[in-house]
């Protein structure tokens, strides 16, 4: 169970970045609350709140399953979650942005 929690900690932390960045820059960006879901733009406030929730969940998961060493299996699981979700998001939102042009 710890392995799953660490993987998702990385995924939630990764997902927090674009939403917080869009919200803090005052730019719309897709969220699960957009219409259509995950494609349409959401307000900067919705992005800031969604990013903050993702950050909080990622940090709670890490606090309950701390990483003892930087180069460990646990750290690798967090990195895997971060990298896999980041790669999937960059591919998906790259397609969404290309369709808008």
Residue 95, pLDDT score? 84
Residue 28, pLDDT score? 93
Domains in the chain: boundaries: 2-100
Q: Please answer whether residues 9 and 58 qualify as being in contact, where contact means their C-beta atoms are separated by less than 8 angstroms.
A: yes
Residue 19, pLDDT score? 96
Q: Determine how many CB atoms are found less than 10 A away from the CB of residue 58.
A: 22
Q: Which residues pair with 29 in a beta bridge?
A: 42
Whole-structure pTM value: 0.86
Within its chain, how far is the Cα of 91 from the centroid? Answer: 14
Q: Please answer whether residues 25 and 44 qualify as being in contact, where contact means their C-beta atoms are separated by less than 8 angstroms.
A: yes
Q: Which residues pair with 30 in a beta bridge?
A: 41
Residue 36, pLDDT score? 86
Structure-block tokens of residue 31: 């969220």
Q: How confident is the model at residue 66 (pLDDT cuts 50, 70, 90)?
A: confident
């Amino acid at each position: 169970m710890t392995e799953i929690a660490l993987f998702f900690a990385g995924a939630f932390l990764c997902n927090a970045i674009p939403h917080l960045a869009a919200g803090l820059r005052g730019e719309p960006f897709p969220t699960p609350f957009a219409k259509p879901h995950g494609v349409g733009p959401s307000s900067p406030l919705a992005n800031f709140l969604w990013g903050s929730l993702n950050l909080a969940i990622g940090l709670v998961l890490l606090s309950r399953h701390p990483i003892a060493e930087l180069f460990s299996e646990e750290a690798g699981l967090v990195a895997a979650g971060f990298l896999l979700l980041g790669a999937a998001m960059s591919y998906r939102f790259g397609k969404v942005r290309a369709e808008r042009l």
